[in-house]
């Protein structure tokens, strides 16, 4: 459905831009345009292109359709393999019946959408036909929204690999980059688990795809792979046909595709935390605090700050802790927490699992905010945010990084039917007609938008892997 977005994007030309030009942002109606410092004198007819995003996760998914008027929930059923008999049958006795077992995968469709409003003044005064530009940008937005939601589901997969002998993200160093042996272990894992190649997978069917797995990796990991001597030799002599834009080659029975829509997980120094005596009712002594900054474009985790550990004292049961969030306004923040007798003791405070999150407006907090964390009490008259006892936890994607200078890059390896996108409502565009109406009697504005109802769901965690590594090129 959205493959055309990438193809159309790649067909547009990158305009040449003069260096050192000042730019300002001007808002007319609800539409934003960029103009140079000489805008009053002349506005160029050609507009600057937006960043090109390569979208992969919807394209590589197995596809399913949930018919209308069939509720919002879709179910796949898998009949599990029958266990082999352990003993021979005796004469006249057929033995016990073998029990058949099934497992199910369910997905509940979610609706997404957005729209923009263009005023009649904007259409009259802006040279660049803002309505047409809005439609173009809405097309990018819809595809990228679906890509993000697919990634967020796939990123919860439980099979994670690291280069060499590294056993966790926290142990990664700057020299731990992916090698051919990293991919050999990942391929061996999928083959051992019985994952089939992507041939005849709906949406990516191609008679030349054969029995290949498909890897999606970011632009930095791409060059770690393509500079590996084993990869270079394999690609040089195989002369395999490239099936996709952005495919970097075939190796070990894998088609490698790059994507610049994957997040890079960086780190930074831990935010400031302070203990407030008699300010709340934190009952446990040791507290680990993890702050994560999410970008304001894809809402991906961008900065996973180093963890703070606070000791409120052995006898104190009525303190609170203030977290001073970082000042970067290009991020919005979540605060995760480990604070219970089972999570943290004196001996485990340095590595206790982050198991809770701090409640806030939409669970996010703004830059530079001072957030006071208690439990339920509000002893000092300030707003205290409670620790949630259920709901979102940090999860493996938000695991700590080794140091404030760490950068973790992501790659994925998929077999057939690893995950599915279930469509209840195909992508639809909306456009209000020109002219006056009861709600717009003076014809002052028009609106354009899109909506879609779908859900991505993991079918089998054994049919795909994630690899995390540093990069020699970042």
Q: What is the DSSP string of 268-312?
A: -PPPEEEEETTSS-B-SSEEEEEEEEEESSS--EEEEPPPEEEE-
Q: Hunting for tokens 């923040």 — which residue is that?
A: 333
Cα 157 to Cα 42: distance, rounded to the nearest angstrom: 52
136: left (phi over 0), alpha (psi -120 to 50) or beta: alpha
Closest CA to 427 of 130, 129, 4, 118: 4
pLDDT score, position 9: 35
**Is the CB of residue 160 less than 8 Å from the CB of residue 451?**
no
pLDDT score, position 386: 64
Output DSSP code: residue 383: -
Closest CA to 256 of 226, 297, 214, 291: 214
CA angle 247/248/252 to nearest 5° reads: 105
Cα 293 to Cα 356: distance, rounded to the nearest angstrom: 16
Cα 410 to Cα 406: distance, rounded to the nearest angstrom: 13
279: left (phi over 0), alpha (psi -120 to 50) or beta: alpha
Torsion angles phi and psi, residue 88, rounded to 5: -75, 160
Please list the residues that pair with 211 across neighbouring strands: none
The 10 Å CB-count burial string (b at 16+, else e) for 80-108 is: eeeeeeeeeeeeeeeeeeeeeeeeebebe
Cα 222 to Cα 247: distance, rounded to the nearest angstrom: 10
Torsion angles phi and psi, residue 103, rounded to 5: -130, 155
pLDDT score, position 343: 47
**Is the CB of residue 197 less than 8 Å from the CB of residue 209?**
yes
Cα 58 to Cα 454: distance, rounded to the nearest angstrom: 11
pLDDT score, position 286: 74
- For 115, the token pair is 């729209």
Cα 335 to Cα 323: distance, rounded to the nearest angstrom: 9
pTM: 0.83
| Residue ranges for the chain with pLDDT beneath 70 | 1-48, 199-210, 238-244, 279-280, 283-284, 314-317, 339-362, 375-384, 386-395
Strand intervals (E) in 404-473: 407-414, 419-431, 445-458, 464-469
363: left (phi over 0), alpha (psi -120 to 50) or beta: left
pLDDT score, position 195: 94
DSSP string, 96-120: PPPPP-EEEEEEE-EEEEEEEEEEH
Q: What's the distance, CA 470 to chain centroid?
A: 18
pLDDT score, position 31: 44
pLDDT score, position 111: 96
Cα 438 to Cα 68: distance, rounded to the nearest angstrom: 31
pLDDT score, position 472: 97
pLDDT score, position 45: 66
Q: What percent of the chain has pLDDT above 70?
A: 73
Cα 291 to Cα 336: distance, rounded to the nearest angstrom: 6
Helices and strands (H and E) in the chain: how many:
7, 24
pLDDT score, position 3: 44
With H, G, I as helix, E, B as strand and everything else as coil, classify residue 223: helix
pLDDT score, position 240: 59
């Amino acid at each position: 459905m959205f493959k055309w977005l990438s193809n159309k994007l790649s067909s547009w030309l990158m305009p040449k831009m003069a260096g050192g030009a000042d730019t300002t942002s001007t808002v007319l109606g609800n539409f934003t345009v960029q103009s140079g410092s000489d805008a009053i004198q002349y506005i160029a007819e050609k507009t600057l292109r937006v960043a090109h995003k390569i979208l992969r996760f919807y394209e590589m998914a197995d596809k399913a359709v949930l018919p209308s008027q069939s509720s919002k929930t879709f179910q796949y059923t898998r009949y599990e393999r029958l266990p082999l008999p352990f003993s021979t049958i005796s004469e006249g006795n057929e033995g016990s019946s073998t029990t058949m077992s099934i497992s199910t995968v369910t997905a509940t469709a979610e609706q997404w959408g957005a729209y923009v409003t263009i005023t009649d003044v904007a259409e009259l005064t802006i040279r660049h036909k803002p309505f047409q530009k809005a439609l173009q940008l809405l097309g990018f937005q819809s595809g990228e929204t679906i890509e993000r939601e697919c990634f967020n589901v796939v990123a919860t997969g439980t099979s994670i690999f690291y280069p060499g002998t590294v056993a966790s993200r926290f142990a990664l160093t700057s020299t731990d980059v992916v090698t051919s042996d990293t991919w050999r272990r990942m391929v061996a894992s999928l083959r051992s688990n019985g994952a089939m190649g992507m041939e005849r997978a709906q949406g990516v069917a191609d008679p030349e795809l054969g029995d290949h797995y498909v890897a999606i990796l970011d632009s930095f990991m791409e060059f770690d792979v393509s500079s590996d001597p084993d990869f270079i030799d394999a690609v040089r002599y195989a002369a395999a046909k490239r099936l996709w834009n952005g495919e970097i080659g075939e190796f070990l029975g894998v088609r490698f595709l790059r994507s610049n829509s994957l997040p890079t997980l960086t780190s930074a120094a831990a935010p400031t935390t302070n203990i407030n005596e008699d300010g709340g009712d934190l009952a446990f002594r040791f507290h680990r605090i993890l702050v994560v900054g999410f970008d304001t474009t894809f809402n991906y985790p961008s900065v996973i700050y180093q963890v703070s550990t606070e000791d409120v004292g052995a006898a104190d049961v009525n303190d609170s802790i203030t977290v001073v969030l970082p000042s970067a306004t290009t991020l919005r923040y979540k605060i995760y927490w480990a604070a219970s007798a089972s999570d943290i003791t004196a001996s485990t405070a340095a590595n206790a699992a982050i198991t809770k999150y701090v409640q806030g407006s939409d669970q996010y907090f703004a830059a530079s905010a001072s957030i006071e964390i208690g439990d339920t009490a509000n002893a000092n008259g300030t707003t205290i945010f409670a620790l949630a006892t259920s709901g979102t936890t940090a999860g493996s994607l938000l695991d700590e990084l080794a140091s404030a200078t760490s950068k973790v890059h992501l790659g994925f390896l998929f077999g057939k039917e690893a995950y599915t996108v279930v469509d209840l409502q195909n992508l639809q565009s909306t456009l209000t007609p020109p002219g006056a109406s009861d709600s717009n009697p003076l014809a002052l504005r028009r609106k354009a938008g899109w909506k879609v109802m779908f859900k991505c769901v993991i079918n089998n965690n054994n049919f795909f892997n994630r690899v995390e590594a540093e990069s020699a090129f970042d």
